[in-house]
Amino acid sequence: MSGLFSTFNVATRGMSAQQKALDVTSHNIANANTEGYSRQRATMETTRPFGMPSMNNAVGPGQLGTGVQISSITRIRDGFLDYQVRTENGTKGKYEGREKFLSQIEGIMNEPSDTGVSNLLGKVFSSWTDLSLHPESSNSRTVVAQQSKALTDELNNTYNQLNKLKGNSQEVIKQDVVDINGMLNQLNELNQQVISVKVGGNEPNDLMDRRDLLVDQLSLKFGITINKKALGGEDIKTDDACGMENACLVSSNSGDIRRFSYVSSINKKEDGTYDVTYYKNGDMSTNKNEVTINMKLDPDEYKSLDQGRVLWADKDGNAIKADGSIIENPATFADLKLFTPIMGELNGYMSVQGDIDNYVDQLNGLAKGIAFSINAVHSGESDATTTTLTPDFFLNKDTGKEEEITAGNISINPDIINDPMKINTGINNDPSKNAPGDEKRALAIAGLKDVRLDIQSINKTTTRAGFLDGTKKNKVSLDPVLGVNTITSSVDGMTVSSYFTGIVARLAGQTQEAKKVVTNHESLLAQLEESRTSISGVSLDEEIANMVQYQHAYQANAKIISTVDELLDVVINGLKK
């Protein structure tokens, strides 16, 4: 029914609606600088009008409005922009991870510099040239020994630093696993809270903002796929399920969810099998989380596990098979499900380990190429097992032999360091029988600087005999001018200096590529974030304008109440007169 009391109720509702709208505006202003906050808007609608058609009200002048109410408080968010930002986050995260470690590899290589491998290589061959001018000089021989030692020390240091860097990248992966599992647990909890609030008929705007912020952070770690479910719930999976039958990380129905565990060590046993130790959820704070599985691994499987390190696990952190069953001990490599994302920081950290391994292999090839070539000319033999009166110049410092030389163990023969006069500079394989001033062998070794060696074909099992067996591109042959055995050039080979220069150039190219991609995606992300902020961000000017609007509306409704009060006073108290 209409009347003064009806007008009073309309004004009361108006004041209540404007007050709630002011509350929303106040909340927006308070969170203007809150990360991940989406501005909220109070949606007003008219309440049920008076005079709805009925048996008792069939004809009338028209419906009378009964006021206003807040129908909903919604947040302003563009889902498509969220999708774009998260996709770009994955790409940016991948190349940021690569750039971070590739830049450190460049620092380890230390090129170009006066103390880098390239400069030291030049000094070694220059010292052999100087020795050919003064073959009888002990000082010249000492310089050869010391310059060569400086080179091997730098190779050793570079090798060790690269392996240390690989260990650092694995530590970062382990910390990422811990952080990711923590994010997933928070997301799962927020997901259930959002659903419970929705069931109660309310809008969990702030909870959804917190959830979206976590999802944004998670998308930097690896590519994600989000499936929207009823009542505001979300199922979050990885872009690549990696063969898992169920790859759901966050579930809207509290179903079977997945987590990740971290492989801390892979130790080879005497029987040839490996003990693979992982920690549940990456948590190494207690030994209770440590699990060891014994298995056989071929070289490729070992490499994949060593570079990957992240295992699919159940919600308690137990490593699982593709069907979700817990892996028992002993196991096979096929039982393990490695998490190998195609995007994000984890992909960057995992891929850069492969790069480090490649650079270590190339340095090992360089060390072997230097050792094989100089030892062959110095001893006059293409086979390290042949007994000669001339000692090998380079050795494996761990075994004292040339076998299995790497950049990490190559060293100068201690006998030569202690007595540089044992360096053979002359034609005869027995240094004691060389004529005074015989410099032919020193010249031959100095000439190796320009010999193109097939270094790129050297691998872990390559020996000097295999490298110079005559059927390959390089072989030992007698130099008719010098009268000593030297090495023939390979048409497809490279000098040791150009080989190392190629390593540095490839590294520079990879680093620059990573930097360019990061720069490009930072620019694109900045544009996307600007677009998202223009929609979801809080504009203080706009909020202040809204505040003034709601304030005036509130005052106007209050004035109506005051007017109705005066009219009621006339009706009630005026009748007494």
Q: Are residues 259 and 226 in the same domain?
A: yes
Higher local confidence (pLDDT), 54 or 223: 223
Query: By percentage, how much of the chain surpasses pLDDT 70?
Result: 97
Assess if residue 513 is contained within a domain: no
DSSP state letters, 121-142: HHHHHHHHHHHHHSTT-HHHHH
Contacts (Cβ under 8 Å, ≥6 apart) of 541: none
Assess if residue 86 is contained within a domain: no
Question: Which one of 461, 490, 507 terminates a domain?
Answer: 507
Question: Which one of 334, 349, 364 terminates a domain?
Answer: 349
Helix, strand, coil percentages in the chain from 3-state DSSP, rounded to 5 = 55, 15, 30
CA-to-CA dists, residue 1 to 52, 68, 157, 384, 496, angstroms: 11, 17, 93, 112, 100
3-state secondary structure of 438: coil
Q: Which residues of 476-505 are buried (b: 16+ CB within 10 A; e: fewer)?
A: beebeebebbbbbebeebbbbbebbbebbe
pLDDT value at position 22? Answer: 96
Q: Are residues 395 and 496 in the same domain?
A: yes
Q: Are residues 545 and 569 in the same domain?
A: yes
Residue range 382-407: average pLDDT?
87
Contact 20, 42 (CB under 8 A): yes
Residue range 206-233: average pLDDT?
94
pLDDT-derived band at 279 (thresholds 50, 70, 90) equals: very high
Contact 365, 373 (CB under 8 A): no
Query: By percentage, how much of the chain surpasses pLDDT 90?
Result: 76
Tokens of 104: 């450190």
CB-based burial label for 299 (10 Å; 0-12, 13-18, 19+)? exposed
Q: Is the pLDDT of residue 500 over 60?
A: yes
Q: Are residues 427 and 472 in the same domain?
A: yes
Contact 326, 380 (CB under 8 A): no
Count CB neighbours of 303 within 10 A: 14
pLDDT-derived band at 27 (thresholds 50, 70, 90) equals: very high
pLDDT value at position 577? Answer: 55
Tokens of 187: 């997301």
Assess if residue 489 is contained within a domain: yes
pLDDT value at position 54? Answer: 59
Q: Are residues 140 and 247 in the same domain?
A: no
Q: Are residues 23 and 53 in the same domain?
A: yes
Question: Smallest Cα–Cα separation from 5: which of 575, 568, 569, 459?
Answer: 568
Question: Smallest Cα–Cα separation from 501: which of 127, 114, 119?
Answer: 119
Assess if residue 109 is contained within a domain: no
Q: Which residues pair with 453 in a beta bridge?
A: 494
Q: Are residues 186 and 315 in the same domain?
A: yes
pLDDT-derived band at 380 (thresholds 50, 70, 90) equals: confident
pLDDT value at position 538? Answer: 95
pLDDT value at position 53? Answer: 59
Question: Any idea which of 18-27, 62-71, 73-82 has the lowest mean pLDDT?
Answer: 62-71
Higher local confidence (pLDDT), 57 or 554: 554
pLDDT value at position 100? Answer: 94
Q: Are residues 238 and 266 in the same domain?
A: yes
Assess if residue 303 is contained within a domain: yes
Tokens of 146: 């010391």
Report the C-alpha gap between 267 and 286 in whole angstroms. 20
Q: Are residues 345 and 319 in the same domain?
A: yes
Please, what is the average pLDDT of the chain?
Answer: 91
Residue range 390-399: average pLDDT?
91
Q: Which residues of 67-88 are buried (b: 16+ CB within 10 A; e: fewer)?
A: bbbbeebebebeeebbebbbbb
Strands 68-75, 40-46: pairing is antiparallel
Q: Which residues pair with 290 in a beta bridge?
A: 279
Q: Is the pLDDT of residue 75 over 90?
A: yes
pLDDT value at position 166? Answer: 95
Question: Smallest Cα–Cα separation from 372: which of 459, 491, 492?
Answer: 459
Contacts (Cβ under 8 Å, ≥6 apart) of 417: 145, 149
pLDDT value at position 149? Answer: 96
Residue range 547-554: average pLDDT?
96
Q: Are residues 332 and 200 in the same domain?
A: yes
The number of folded domains in the chain is 3
Report the C-alpha gap between 464 and 478 in whole angstroms. 17
Q: Are residues 287 and 363 in the same domain?
A: no
Assess if residue 529 is contained within a domain: no
Count CB neighbours of 202 within 10 A: 11
Q: What is the pLDDT of residues 224-253, one digit of tens each?
A: 999 999 999 999 999 888 888 899 999 998
Question: Which one of 307, 331, 349 terminates a domain?
Answer: 349
Phi, psi of 487 (to 5 degrees): -115, 135
Question: Any idea which of 30-39, 43-52, 54-63, 375-384 has the lowest mean pLDDT?
Answer: 54-63
Q: Is the pLDDT of residue 62 over 70?
A: no
pLDDT value at position 199? Answer: 93
pLDDT-derived band at 290 (thresholds 50, 70, 90) equals: very high
3-state secondary structure of 40: strand
Q: Are residues 440 and 376 in the same domain?
A: yes
Q: Is the pLDDT of residue 94 over 70?
A: yes
**Which residues constitute the domain of residue 213?**
166-349
Assess if residue 458 is contained within a domain: yes
Contacts (Cβ under 8 Å, ≥6 apart) of 306: 266, 353
Assess if residue 36 is contained within a domain: yes
Question: Smallest Cα–Cα separation from 258: which of 344, 324, 178?
Answer: 324
Question: Smallest Cα–Cα separation from 281: which of 237, 311, 244?
Answer: 311
pLDDT value at position 212? Answer: 96
pLDDT value at position 546? Answer: 95
pLDDT value at position 481? Answer: 86
pLDDT value at position 254? Answer: 75
Higher local confidence (pLDDT), 110 or 317: 317
